[in-house]
Amino acid sequence: MDKFQAFLDRSLGPIMSKLGGNRYLLAVRDGVVSALPLIIVGSFFLIVAMPPLPQDWEIYKFLSGNAATILLPYRMTMYIMALYAVFGMGNSLARSYNLDGVSGGILSVMAFLLTFTPVNVAAEAEAGVAGFVLPMANLGGGGLFVGMIVTFFAINVFRFTNNSKFKITMPEQVPPSVARSFEALTPTLIVILVIGSLTYFVGFDWHNAVATIIAPLVSATDTLPGVLLIVFLTCFFWFFGIHGVSIVGSIARPLWLTLLEQNANAVAAGAAGTALPAISAEPFYQWFIWIGGSGCTIGLALLLVTVCRSKYLKDLGRLAVVPAIFNINEPLIFGTPIVLNLTLAIPFIFTPMICAVIAWVVTSMGLVNQVIVTAPWTLPGPIGAYLATGGDWRASVLCIVLIVVSVLCYLPFVKMYDKQQLKEEGSLEEQPAADAA
Vertex 40 angle, CA 36 and 44, to 5°: 160
| Mean pLDDT for the stretch of residues 86-96 | 94
Q: What distance in Å separates the CA atoms of residue 181 and residue 177, rounded to the nearest whole number? A: 6
Confidence of residue 217 (pLDDT cuts 50, 70, 90): confident
pLDDT at 410: 93
> At residue 437, does pLDDT exceed 50?
no
Which helix (H) or strand (E) segment holds residue 124: the answer is: strand 119-124
Q: What distance in Å separates the CA atoms of residue 372 and residue 333, rounded to the nearest whole number? A: 30
Confidence of residue 128 (pLDDT cuts 50, 70, 90): low
Using CA atoms, how far residue 102 sits from 106, 159, 186, in Å, is: 6, 14, 16
Give the DSSP letter of residue 308: -
Summarize pLDDT for 408-426 with one digit per residue, the tens: 999 999 988 888 888 877 7
What is the model's pTM? 0.76
Q: Helix 244-268 vs helix 2-21: angle between axes, to the nearest 10 degrees? A: 50
pLDDT at 32: 85
Confidence of residue 125 (pLDDT cuts 50, 70, 90): very low
Confidence of residue 122 (pLDDT cuts 50, 70, 90): low
Summarize pLDDT for 270-300 with one digit per residue, the tens: 765 557 888 999 999 999 999 998 899 999 9
Q: What distance in Å separates the CA atoms of residue 398 and residue 358, rounded to the nearest whole number? A: 9
Give the DSSP letter of residue 318: H
Summarize pLDDT for 347-397 with one digit per residue, the tens: 999 999 999 999 999 999 989 999 988 888 888 999 999 999 988 899 999
Summarize pLDDT for 36-78 with one digit per residue, the tens: 888 888 888 888 887 777 777 888 888 888 888 988 998 898 8
